[in-house]
Amino acid sequence: MSEELIGAFDIRGKEDTGLTVDIAWNVGKALADWLPSGGAVVVVYVPTHQHIASAIIEGLRLQGRDVVDGGHGDKEAARTHIKTGKLAGGAVVGFDDLEKMVTIELYGEDANLLGNETGLREIQELVQGGNFVPAAIKGELVQTA
């Protein structure tokens, strides 16, 4: 993942030329490895970028994390899922209309947004290293009602 994709509080880029499905897949793997062990992770998304969310979900599951598909939503939906479900963390796939860029925000077990000083740079390093060892058992996918 290149430096220009990571901001102070999110990962962002033009679809298919910057923030690709492959990068999103590796972000999911890195988030799974970075979060405290155990516990499911929620992913919510805007309808137009469900395929990016699906890549994050698959990366999380390959690393053995159970994933709650939070469906269409925003950061408040993700934070609510994390708090009420006592989840390990979450991801929100959005779109910045002004800059015309896909965004990924990551949240920790406290439902707070991860930033440069609170894990985002470490996740970037994991993505760049690419040394992911898949879990022996793939995580389950749970759909919200």
Per-residue pLDDT of 44-82, as tens digits, reads 999 999 999 999 999 999 999 999 999 999 999 999 999
Q: Is the pLDDT of residue 92 over 90?
A: yes
pLDDT of amino acid 78: 97
pLDDT > 90 in the chain, percent: 83
Round to whole Å and give the CA distance between 63 and 7: 25
Residue 27 forms part of a structural domain: yes
Number of structural domains (the chain) is 1
CATH of residue 88's domain is 3.40.120.10
Q: Average pLDDT for residues 28-57, to the nearest whole number?
A: 95
Question: How far is residue 70 from each of residues 81, 109, 125, measured CA to CA in Å?
Answer: 8, 16, 27
Q: Does residue 2 or residue 33 have the better pLDDT?
A: 33
Position with higher pLDDT, 56 vs 38: 56
pTM: 0.94
Residue 134 lies in a domain: no
Count CA within 13 A, CB hemisphere, residue 91.
36
User: Residue 61 domain-assigned?
Assistant: yes
Q: Please check whether residue 138 lies inside any domain of the structure.
A: no
Within a domain: 143: no
User: What's the whole-number average pLDDT of the chain?
Assistant: 92
In a domain, 15, yes or no: yes
| Contact residues for 52 (Cβ-Cβ < 8 A; gap 6+) | 15, 19, 21, 24, 45, 93, 102, 104
Domain containing 16: what range? 3-129
